[in-house]
Amino acid sequence: MALIFHERVGLDGRRISPFSWRIRYALAHKELQPTVVPTRFADAARILKLSGQRFVPIIEHNEIVVHDSWAIACYLEDRFPESPTLFGCAIGRGSARMVNAWSDSVLARAMRPLVYADFMRCIDPDDRAYFRSSREAQLGMTLEKYSANPTASLASLFDVCAPLERTLSEQPFVAGSAPAYVDYVVFSVFQWARVGSPHDVLADSTKLPAVQAWRARMVTLYDDLGNRFALYPEEST
Amino acid sequence: MALIFHERVGLDGRRISPFSWRIRYALAHKELQPTVVPTRFADAARILKLSGQRFVPIIEHNEIVVHDSWAIACYLEDRFPESPTLFGCAIGRGSARMVNAWSDSVLARAMRPLVYADFMRCIDPDDRAYFRSSREAQLGMTLEKYSANPTASLASLFDVCAPLERTLSEQPFVAGSAPAYVDYVVFSVFQWARVGSPHDVLADSTKLPAVQAWRARMVTLYDDLGNRFALYPEEST
Protein backbone atom coordinates (compact mmCIF):
# COMPACT_ATOMS: atom_id res chain seq x y z
CA MET A 1 0.00 0.00 0.00
CA ALA A 2 1.40 3.37 -1.08
CA LEU A 3 -0.09 6.15 1.00
CA ILE A 4 1.28 9.67 0.56
CA PHE A 5 0.32 12.69 2.65
CA HIS A 6 1.03 16.10 1.14
CA GLU A 7 1.13 18.27 4.24
CA ARG A 8 1.47 22.02 4.62
CA VAL A 9 4.73 23.08 6.28
CA GLY A 10 6.17 26.39 7.36
CA LEU A 11 9.49 27.63 8.70
CA ASP A 12 11.93 24.79 9.46
CA GLY A 13 9.32 22.07 9.12
CA ARG A 14 6.69 23.63 11.37
CA ARG A 15 3.17 22.36 10.75
CA ILE A 16 1.14 25.49 10.13
CA SER A 17 -2.22 24.41 8.70
CA PRO A 18 -5.35 23.45 10.66
CA PHE A 19 -6.51 21.36 7.71
CA SER A 20 -3.27 19.39 7.60
CA TRP A 21 -3.30 19.03 11.39
CA ARG A 22 -6.73 17.39 11.45
CA ILE A 23 -5.60 14.91 8.80
CA ARG A 24 -2.36 14.22 10.66
CA TYR A 25 -4.42 13.33 13.74
CA ALA A 26 -6.88 11.32 11.63
CA LEU A 27 -4.01 9.30 10.15
CA ALA A 28 -2.62 8.62 13.64
CA HIS A 29 -6.10 7.63 14.85
CA LYS A 30 -6.39 5.15 11.98
CA GLU A 31 -2.89 3.86 12.67
CA LEU A 32 -1.69 4.71 9.19
CA GLN A 33 1.88 5.74 8.47
CA PRO A 34 1.99 7.57 5.18
CA THR A 35 4.98 8.97 3.38
CA VAL A 36 4.87 12.68 4.11
CA VAL A 37 5.58 15.25 1.40
CA PRO A 38 6.19 18.64 3.03
CA THR A 39 4.42 21.29 0.99
CA ARG A 40 4.81 25.06 1.10
CA PHE A 41 2.48 27.58 -0.49
CA ALA A 42 5.32 28.03 -3.02
CA ASP A 43 4.80 24.43 -4.13
CA ALA A 44 1.36 25.19 -5.55
CA ALA A 45 2.38 24.30 -9.13
CA ARG A 46 3.19 20.71 -8.07
CA ILE A 47 -0.08 20.44 -6.15
CA LEU A 48 -2.06 21.88 -9.05
CA LYS A 49 -0.57 19.36 -11.43
CA LEU A 50 -1.28 16.52 -9.02
CA SER A 51 -4.81 17.38 -7.99
CA GLY A 52 -6.24 20.08 -10.24
CA GLN A 53 -6.35 22.59 -7.38
CA ARG A 54 -3.81 24.40 -5.21
CA PHE A 55 -4.46 23.34 -1.64
CA VAL A 56 -3.24 20.70 0.74
CA PRO A 57 -3.78 18.40 2.55
CA ILE A 58 -3.86 15.81 -0.19
CA ILE A 59 -3.81 12.06 0.16
CA GLU A 60 -2.47 9.90 -2.65
CA HIS A 61 -3.38 6.26 -2.24
CA ASN A 62 -2.14 4.05 -5.03
CA GLU A 63 -3.56 5.85 -8.10
CA ILE A 64 -6.20 7.84 -6.23
CA VAL A 65 -5.71 11.51 -5.32
CA VAL A 66 -8.03 13.03 -2.73
CA HIS A 67 -8.04 16.69 -1.69
CA ASP A 68 -10.15 18.62 0.85
CA SER A 69 -9.80 17.56 4.48
CA TRP A 70 -13.41 16.40 4.82
CA ALA A 71 -13.17 14.26 1.69
CA ILE A 72 -9.86 12.84 2.94
CA ALA A 73 -11.33 11.92 6.32
CA CYS A 74 -14.24 10.16 4.62
CA TYR A 75 -11.87 8.39 2.23
CA LEU A 76 -9.67 7.14 5.08
CA GLU A 77 -12.73 5.98 7.00
CA ASP A 78 -14.20 4.10 4.06
CA ARG A 79 -10.99 2.60 2.67
CA PHE A 80 -9.57 1.48 6.01
CA PRO A 81 -12.62 0.08 7.82
CA GLU A 82 -10.46 -2.31 9.84
CA SER A 83 -8.68 0.63 11.51
CA PRO A 84 -10.21 2.52 14.48
CA THR A 85 -13.22 4.50 13.33
CA LEU A 86 -13.20 8.28 12.88
CA PHE A 87 -16.98 8.71 12.81
CA GLY A 88 -18.43 5.63 14.51
CA CYS A 89 -21.54 5.41 12.34
CA ALA A 90 -23.53 7.27 9.68
CA ILE A 91 -25.10 9.61 12.25
CA GLY A 92 -21.65 10.27 13.70
CA ARG A 93 -20.38 11.20 10.24
CA GLY A 94 -23.36 13.43 9.49
CA SER A 95 -23.05 15.24 12.81
CA ALA A 96 -19.29 15.62 12.31
CA ARG A 97 -20.04 17.62 9.19
CA MET A 98 -21.91 20.13 11.33
CA VAL A 99 -19.02 20.36 13.80
CA ASN A 100 -16.65 20.70 10.82
CA ALA A 101 -18.74 23.57 9.41
CA TRP A 102 -18.83 25.26 12.82
CA SER A 103 -15.06 24.94 13.22
CA ASP A 104 -14.30 26.39 9.81
CA SER A 105 -16.90 29.12 9.63
CA VAL A 106 -17.21 30.20 13.27
CA LEU A 107 -14.25 29.04 15.37
CA ALA A 108 -11.57 29.68 12.76
CA ARG A 109 -13.04 33.08 11.95
CA ALA A 110 -12.83 34.04 15.62
CA MET A 111 -9.29 32.68 15.91
CA ARG A 112 -7.80 34.38 12.86
CA PRO A 113 -7.42 37.93 14.19
CA LEU A 114 -5.62 36.48 17.22
CA VAL A 115 -3.06 34.76 15.01
CA TYR A 116 -2.65 36.56 11.68
CA ALA A 117 -0.38 39.40 12.78
CA ASP A 118 2.12 36.95 14.25
CA PHE A 119 1.65 34.21 11.69
CA MET A 120 4.14 35.54 9.11
CA ARG A 121 7.11 34.49 11.23
CA CYS A 122 6.16 30.81 11.42
CA ILE A 123 5.87 30.27 7.66
CA ASP A 124 8.57 29.72 5.11
CA PRO A 125 10.25 32.98 4.01
CA ASP A 126 9.39 32.12 0.39
CA ASP A 127 5.70 32.02 1.32
CA ARG A 128 5.43 35.28 3.23
CA ALA A 129 4.73 37.66 0.36
CA TYR A 130 2.06 35.31 -1.01
CA PHE A 131 0.47 34.80 2.38
CA ARG A 132 0.31 38.50 3.13
CA SER A 133 -1.05 39.58 -0.25
CA SER A 134 -3.64 36.78 -0.51
CA ARG A 135 -4.95 37.23 3.03
CA GLU A 136 -4.96 41.01 2.89
CA ALA A 137 -6.93 40.85 -0.37
CA GLN A 138 -9.49 38.57 1.32
CA LEU A 139 -9.70 40.74 4.43
CA GLY A 140 -9.64 44.08 2.64
CA MET A 141 -7.09 45.36 5.18
CA THR A 142 -3.57 44.73 6.42
CA LEU A 143 -2.93 41.77 8.70
CA GLU A 144 -1.82 44.22 11.37
CA LYS A 145 -5.03 46.20 11.22
CA TYR A 146 -7.07 42.98 11.27
CA SER A 147 -5.25 41.92 14.44
CA ALA A 148 -5.17 45.35 16.06
CA ASN A 149 -7.64 44.67 18.87
CA PRO A 150 -6.65 41.44 20.61
CA THR A 151 -8.72 42.16 23.72
CA ALA A 152 -11.93 42.35 21.72
CA SER A 153 -10.87 39.40 19.56
CA LEU A 154 -10.24 37.28 22.64
CA ALA A 155 -13.62 38.19 24.10
CA SER A 156 -15.19 37.17 20.81
CA LEU A 157 -13.33 33.84 20.86
CA PHE A 158 -14.56 33.12 24.39
CA ASP A 159 -18.11 33.93 23.34
CA VAL A 160 -17.92 31.72 20.26
CA CYS A 161 -16.53 28.81 22.30
CA ALA A 162 -19.49 28.72 24.73
CA PRO A 163 -21.03 25.56 23.22
CA LEU A 164 -17.62 23.87 23.12
CA GLU A 165 -16.95 24.73 26.76
CA ARG A 166 -20.37 23.44 27.74
CA THR A 167 -19.85 20.18 25.85
CA LEU A 168 -16.39 19.60 27.31
CA SER A 169 -17.57 20.34 30.84
CA GLU A 170 -19.94 17.38 30.40
CA GLN A 171 -17.67 14.87 28.67
CA PRO A 172 -13.89 14.57 28.12
CA PHE A 173 -13.95 14.79 24.31
CA VAL A 174 -16.23 16.33 21.71
CA ALA A 175 -16.92 12.79 20.50
CA GLY A 176 -17.75 11.62 24.05
CA SER A 177 -15.50 9.40 26.14
CA ALA A 178 -12.74 9.05 23.53
CA PRO A 179 -11.43 11.34 20.78
CA ALA A 180 -12.61 11.03 17.19
CA TYR A 181 -12.65 13.13 14.05
CA VAL A 182 -14.80 15.90 15.54
CA ASP A 183 -12.06 16.42 18.15
CA TYR A 184 -9.34 16.61 15.51
CA VAL A 185 -11.29 19.19 13.55
CA VAL A 186 -11.88 21.51 16.50
CA PHE A 187 -8.44 20.94 18.00
CA SER A 188 -6.74 21.72 14.68
CA VAL A 189 -7.85 25.34 15.00
CA PHE A 190 -6.39 25.63 18.52
CA GLN A 191 -3.23 23.84 17.41
CA TRP A 192 -2.91 26.27 14.51
CA ALA A 193 -2.98 29.09 17.07
CA ARG A 194 -0.31 27.34 19.17
CA VAL A 195 2.02 27.22 16.17
CA GLY A 196 1.05 30.55 14.66
CA SER A 197 1.28 32.91 17.60
CA PRO A 198 3.43 33.36 20.71
CA HIS A 199 0.32 34.32 22.70
CA ASP A 200 -1.68 31.47 24.23
CA VAL A 201 -5.36 32.15 23.54
CA LEU A 202 -6.21 29.99 26.57
CA ALA A 203 -3.74 31.64 28.94
CA ASP A 204 -6.50 32.96 31.22
CA SER A 205 -7.34 29.96 33.37
CA THR A 206 -10.67 31.49 34.42
CA LYS A 207 -11.97 31.34 30.84
CA LEU A 208 -12.85 28.10 29.05
CA PRO A 209 -11.27 25.79 31.66
CA ALA A 210 -12.83 22.68 30.11
CA VAL A 211 -11.52 23.62 26.66
CA GLN A 212 -8.11 24.23 28.17
CA ALA A 213 -8.00 20.80 29.85
CA TRP A 214 -9.25 19.13 26.66
CA ARG A 215 -6.62 20.89 24.55
CA ALA A 216 -3.92 19.58 26.89
CA ARG A 217 -5.28 16.05 26.46
CA MET A 218 -5.39 16.46 22.69
CA VAL A 219 -1.79 17.67 22.50
CA THR A 220 -0.52 14.53 24.25
CA LEU A 221 -2.41 11.99 22.12
CA TYR A 222 -0.39 9.69 19.84
CA ASP A 223 2.93 10.11 21.61
CA ASP A 224 2.60 13.81 22.20
CA LEU A 225 1.74 14.48 18.57
CA GLY A 226 0.82 18.10 19.23
CA ASN A 227 4.39 18.77 20.37
CA ARG A 228 6.21 16.73 17.71
CA PHE A 229 7.06 19.79 15.59
CA ALA A 230 8.40 23.16 16.63
CA LEU A 231 5.85 25.71 17.78
CA TYR A 232 6.18 29.47 17.37
CA PRO A 233 9.75 30.60 16.56
CA GLU A 234 11.89 32.26 19.20
CA GLU A 235 12.66 35.93 18.72
CA SER A 236 16.08 35.22 17.24
CA THR A 237 14.75 33.15 14.33
CA MET B 1 -45.17 -0.45 29.88
CA ALA B 2 -46.36 2.85 31.33
CA LEU B 3 -44.70 5.77 29.59
CA ILE B 4 -45.87 9.28 30.44
CA PHE B 5 -44.72 12.48 28.71
CA HIS B 6 -45.23 15.71 30.63
CA GLU B 7 -45.20 18.25 27.81
CA ARG B 8 -45.32 22.02 27.85
CA VAL B 9 -48.52 23.44 26.37
CA GLY B 10 -49.74 26.96 25.69
CA LEU B 11 -52.98 28.54 24.52
CA ASP B 12 -55.57 25.97 23.44
CA GLY B 13 -53.14 23.07 23.44
CA ARG B 14 -50.41 24.71 21.38
CA ARG B 15 -46.96 23.17 21.82
CA ILE B 16 -44.75 26.09 22.81
CA SER B 17 -41.47 24.65 24.10
CA PRO B 18 -38.40 23.76 22.03
CA PHE B 19 -37.38 21.26 24.71
CA SER B 20 -40.73 19.49 24.60
CA TRP B 21 -40.70 19.57 20.77
CA ARG B 22 -37.38 17.76 20.52
CA ILE B 23 -38.65 15.06 22.86
CA ARG B 24 -41.93 14.78 20.94
CA TYR B 25 -39.90 14.14 17.77
CA ALA B 26 -37.57 11.75 19.61
CA LEU B 27 -40.57 9.75 20.86
CA ALA B 28 -41.98 9.57 17.32
CA HIS B 29 -38.56 8.52 15.99
CA LYS B 30 -38.42 5.72 18.55
CA GLU B 31 -42.00 4.72 17.71
CA LEU B 32 -43.15 5.23 21.28
CA GLN B 33 -46.65 6.36 22.12
CA PRO B 34 -46.68 7.80 25.61
CA THR B 35 -49.58 9.14 27.56
CA VAL B 36 -49.25 12.91 27.29
CA VAL B 37 -49.83 15.16 30.28
CA PRO B 38 -50.23 18.76 29.06
CA THR B 39 -48.31 21.05 31.40
CA ARG B 40 -48.48 24.81 31.73
CA PHE B 41 -46.01 26.98 33.62
CA ALA B 42 -48.83 27.29 36.18
CA ASP B 43 -48.54 23.55 36.86
CA ALA B 44 -45.07 23.94 38.36
CA ALA B 45 -46.16 22.69 41.79
CA ARG B 46 -47.17 19.32 40.32
CA ILE B 47 -43.90 19.09 38.38
CA LEU B 48 -41.85 20.06 41.43
CA LYS B 49 -43.52 17.35 43.49
CA LEU B 50 -42.96 14.77 40.76
CA SER B 51 -39.36 15.56 39.84
CA GLY B 52 -37.79 17.89 42.39
CA GLN B 53 -37.53 20.71 39.85
CA ARG B 54 -39.94 22.90 37.91
CA PHE B 55 -39.34 22.23 34.23
CA VAL B 56 -40.72 19.98 31.55
CA PRO B 57 -40.29 17.88 29.49
CA ILE B 58 -40.36 14.97 31.89
CA ILE B 59 -40.64 11.30 31.10
CA GLU B 60 -42.13 8.90 33.64
CA HIS B 61 -41.42 5.29 32.81
CA ASN B 62 -42.81 2.86 35.32
CA GLU B 63 -41.30 4.19 38.57
CA ILE B 64 -38.54 6.22 36.94
CA VAL B 65 -38.80 10.00 36.49
CA VAL B 66 -36.39 11.68 34.07
CA HIS B 67 -36.17 15.42 33.48
CA ASP B 68 -33.96 17.52 31.19
CA SER B 69 -34.33 16.92 27.46
CA TRP B 70 -30.81 15.60 26.95
CA ALA B 71 -31.16 13.12 29.81
CA ILE B 72 -34.54 12.04 28.43
CA ALA B 73 -33.12 11.44 24.95
CA CYS B 74 -30.33 9.33 26.44
CA TYR B 75 -32.81 7.44 28.60
CA LEU B 76 -35.06 6.65 25.63
CA GLU B 77 -32.07 5.56 23.56
CA ASP B 78 -30.73 3.26 26.28
CA ARG B 79 -34.03 1.79 27.47
CA PHE B 80 -35.50 1.17 24.02
CA PRO B 81 -32.53 -0.17 22.05
CA GLU B 82 -34.81 -2.18 19.76
CA SER B 83 -36.42 1.05 18.47
CA PRO B 84 -34.76 3.16 15.73
CA THR B 85 -31.65 4.81 17.10
CA LEU B 86 -31.46 8.50 18.01
CA PHE B 87 -27.64 8.69 18.12
CA GLY B 88 -26.37 5.75 16.06
CA CYS B 89 -23.27 5.11 18.18
CA ALA B 90 -21.18 6.52 21.01
CA ILE B 91 -19.48 9.07 18.73
CA GLY B 92 -22.87 10.09 17.39
CA ARG B 93 -24.09 10.66 20.94
CA GLY B 94 -21.00 12.61 21.93
CA SER B 95 -21.21 14.83 18.86
CA ALA B 96 -24.93 15.35 19.42
CA ARG B 97 -24.07 16.94 22.74
CA MET B 98 -22.05 19.58 20.91
CA VAL B 99 -24.92 20.25 18.51
CA ASN B 100 -27.26 20.37 21.51
CA ALA B 101 -25.03 22.93 23.24
CA TRP B 102 -24.81 25.00 20.05
CA SER B 103 -28.60 24.95 19.64
CA ASP B 104 -29.30 26.03 23.18
CA SER B 105 -26.54 28.57 23.68
CA VAL B 106 -26.15 30.06 20.19
CA LEU B 107 -29.15 29.33 17.98
CA ALA B 108 -31.81 29.80 20.67
CA ARG B 109 -30.15 33.00 21.87
CA ALA B 110 -30.28 34.40 18.34
CA MET B 111 -33.90 33.30 17.90
CA ARG B 112 -35.32 34.71 21.14
CA PRO B 113 -35.47 38.41 20.23
CA LEU B 114 -37.35 37.43 17.06
CA VAL B 115 -40.01 35.61 19.06
CA TYR B 116 -40.33 37.02 22.57
CA ALA B 117 -42.43 40.12 21.83
CA ASP B 118 -45.06 38.00 20.09
CA PHE B 119 -44.76 34.96 22.30
CA MET B 120 -47.17 36.11 25.02
CA ARG B 121 -50.18 35.51 22.80
CA CYS B 122 -49.46 31.83 22.19
CA ILE B 123 -49.20 30.83 25.84
CA ASP B 124 -51.94 30.14 28.32
CA PRO B 125 -53.43 33.33 29.79
CA ASP B 126 -52.65 31.99 33.29
CA ASP B 127 -48.96 31.79 32.35
CA ARG B 128 -48.49 35.23 30.84
CA ALA B 129 -47.67 37.21 33.96
CA TYR B 130 -45.15 34.57 35.04
CA PHE B 131 -43.56 34.38 31.61
CA ARG B 132 -43.19 38.13 31.30
CA SER B 133 -41.80 38.71 34.78
CA SER B 134 -39.37 35.76 34.71
CA ARG B 135 -38.02 36.53 31.24
CA GLU B 136 -37.79 40.27 31.82
CA ALA B 137 -35.85 39.61 35.03
CA GLN B 138 -33.41 37.40 33.08
CA LEU B 139 -33.07 39.92 30.26
CA GLY B 140 -32.94 43.02 32.42
CA MET B 141 -35.41 44.75 30.07
CA THR B 142 -38.95 44.45 28.76
CA LEU B 143 -39.75 41.82 26.15
CA GLU B 144 -40.72 44.64 23.78
CA LYS B 145 -37.40 46.40 24.17
CA TYR B 146 -35.54 43.09 23.72
CA SER B 147 -37.42 42.52 20.45
CA ALA B 148 -37.29 46.11 19.25
CA ASN B 149 -34.84 45.62 16.37
CA PRO B 150 -36.02 42.68 14.27
CA THR B 151 -33.90 43.64 11.26
CA ALA B 152 -30.68 43.41 13.27
CA SER B 153 -31.93 40.29 15.07
CA LEU B 154 -32.68 38.59 11.76
CA ALA B 155 -29.23 39.46 10.40
CA SER B 156 -27.73 37.98 13.55
CA LEU B 157 -29.78 34.78 13.12
CA PHE B 158 -28.59 34.42 9.51
CA ASP B 159 -25.00 34.88 10.65
CA VAL B 160 -25.32 32.34 13.44
CA CYS B 161 -26.88 29.79 11.07
CA ALA B 162 -23.92 29.83 8.64
CA PRO B 163 -22.57 26.41 9.74
CA LEU B 164 -26.08 24.93 9.67
CA GLU B 165 -26.68 26.26 6.15
CA ARG B 166 -23.34 24.88 5.02
CA THR B 167 -24.07 21.46 6.51
CA LEU B 168 -27.54 21.25 5.01
CA SER B 169 -26.31 22.34 1.59
CA GLU B 170 -24.11 19.23 1.66
CA GLN B 171 -26.52 16.66 3.09
CA PRO B 172 -30.31 16.52 3.61
CA PHE B 173 -30.26 16.28 7.41
CA VAL B 174 -27.90 17.37 10.18
CA ALA B 175 -27.44 13.68 10.95
CA GLY B 176 -26.66 12.89 7.29
CA SER B 177 -29.02 11.06 4.96
CA ALA B 178 -31.81 10.58 7.52
CA PRO B 179 -32.99 12.59 10.52
CA ALA B 180 -31.84 11.79 14.05
CA TYR B 181 -31.70 13.50 17.42
CA VAL B 182 -29.39 16.29 16.26
CA ASP B 183 -32.06 17.28 13.74
CA TYR B 184 -34.79 17.31 16.38
CA VAL B 185 -32.70 19.52 18.64
CA VAL B 186 -31.96 22.14 15.98
CA PHE B 187 -35.43 21.95 14.44
CA SER B 188 -37.08 22.43 17.83
CA VAL B 189 -35.77 26.00 17.94
CA PHE B 190 -37.19 26.79 14.49
CA GLN B 191 -40.45 25.06 15.39
CA TRP B 192 -40.65 27.15 18.56
CA ALA B 193 -40.40 30.25 16.35
CA ARG B 194 -43.16 28.93 14.05
CA VAL B 195 -45.51 28.59 17.02
CA GLY B 196 -44.35 31.65 18.92
CA SER B 197 -44.43 34.36 16.29
CA PRO B 198 -46.55 35.29 13.25
CA HIS B 199 -43.38 36.29 11.38
CA ASP B 200 -41.54 33.53 9.52
CA VAL B 201 -37.83 33.91 10.27
CA LEU B 202 -37.09 32.06 7.00
CA ALA B 203 -39.46 34.13 4.85
CA ASP B 204 -36.62 35.54 2.73
CA SER B 205 -35.94 32.75 0.25
CA THR B 206 -32.52 34.20 -0.62
CA LYS B 207 -31.24 33.57 2.92
CA LEU B 208 -30.56 30.09 4.30
CA PRO B 209 -32.26 28.21 1.43
CA ALA B 210 -30.91 24.85 2.60
CA VAL B 211 -32.18 25.46 6.15
CA GLN B 212 -35.54 26.44 4.73
CA ALA B 213 -35.83 23.24 2.66
CA TRP B 214 -34.69 21.13 5.63
CA ARG B 215 -37.23 22.78 7.95
CA ALA B 216 -39.99 21.92 5.46
CA ARG B 217 -38.83 18.29 5.47
CA MET B 218 -38.71 18.25 9.26
CA VAL B 219 -42.24 19.63 9.61
CA THR B 220 -43.69 16.82 7.49
CA LEU B 221 -41.96 13.92 9.29
CA TYR B 222 -44.12 11.50 11.29
CA ASP B 223 -47.42 12.31 9.58
CA ASP B 224 -46.85 16.04 9.46
CA LEU B 225 -45.97 16.22 13.14
CA GLY B 226 -44.83 19.84 12.91
CA ASN B 227 -48.36 20.85 11.88
CA ARG B 228 -50.31 18.62 14.27
CA PHE B 229 -50.98 21.43 16.72
CA ALA B 230 -52.11 24.99 16.11
CA LEU B 231 -49.41 27.51 15.25
CA TYR B 232 -49.53 31.20 16.12
CA PRO B 233 -53.01 32.43 17.06
CA GLU B 234 -55.05 34.53 14.64
CA GLU B 235 -55.58 38.16 15.56
CA SER B 236 -59.05 37.50 16.98
CA THR B 237 -57.87 35.01 19.61
Contact status, residue B11 vs residue B237, Cβ threshold 8 Å:
yes
Closest-CA residue to A54 (of A115, A119, A132, A134): A134
Confidence of residue A236 (pLDDT cuts 50, 70, 90): low
Closest-CA residue to B102 (of A171, A158, A165): A165
How far away is chain B from the Cα of A77, in angstroms, using its nearest Cα?
A: 14
Give the count of Cβ contacts less than 8 A between chain A and B: 121
pLDDT at B1 over 70: no
Average pLDDT score over residue span B36-54: 96
pLDDT at A237 over 60: no
pLDDT of B237 reads 45
C-alpha A224/C-alpha A230 separation (Å) is: 12
Confidence of residue B236 (pLDDT cuts 50, 70, 90): low
Does the beta-carbon distance from A176 to B91 stay under 8 Å?
yes
pLDDT at A65 over 80: yes
Residue B164, classed as helix, strand or coil, is: helix
Mutation target among B95, B160, B181 for the A interface, most CBs of A within 10 A: B95
Share of chain A above pLDDT 70, in %: 99
Does the beta-carbon distance from A94 to B163 stay under 8 Å?
no
How far away is chain B from the Cα of A99, in angstroms, using its nearest Cα?
A: 8
| Better-predicted residue by pLDDT, B235 or B106 | B106
Residue A90: CA count within 13 A, CB half-sphere: 10
Q: Is A94 on the interface with B (CB under 8 A)?
A: yes
Contact status, residue A225 vs residue A231, Cβ threshold 8 Å:
no
Average pLDDT score over residue span A137-156: 96
Average pLDDT, chain A: 96
- In terms of Cβ atoms closer than 10 Å to its own Cβ (0-12, 13-18, 19+), residue A205 is exposed
pLDDT in tens, B75-99: 999 999 999 999 999 999 999 999 9
DSSP secondary structure of A147-178 = TS-HHHHHHHHHHHTHHHHHHHTTSSBTTBSS
pLDDT of A1 reads 63
C-alpha B192/C-alpha A27 separation (Å) is: 42
pLDDT at B162 over 90: yes
Q: Is B216 on the interface with A (CB under 8 A)?
A: no
How far away is chain B from the Cα of A94, in angstroms, using its nearest Cα?
A: 4
Does the beta-carbon distance from A105 to B166 stay under 8 Å?
yes
pLDDT in tens, A75-132: 999 999 999 999 999 999 999 999 999 999 999 999 999 999 899 999 999 999 999 9
Residues in chain A with CB shorter than 8 Å from the CB of B110 are none
Confidence of residue B50 (pLDDT cuts 50, 70, 90): very high
Share of chain B above pLDDT 90, in %: 97
How far away is chain A from the Cα of B162, in angstroms, using its nearest Cα?
A: 7
pLDDT of A234 reads 83
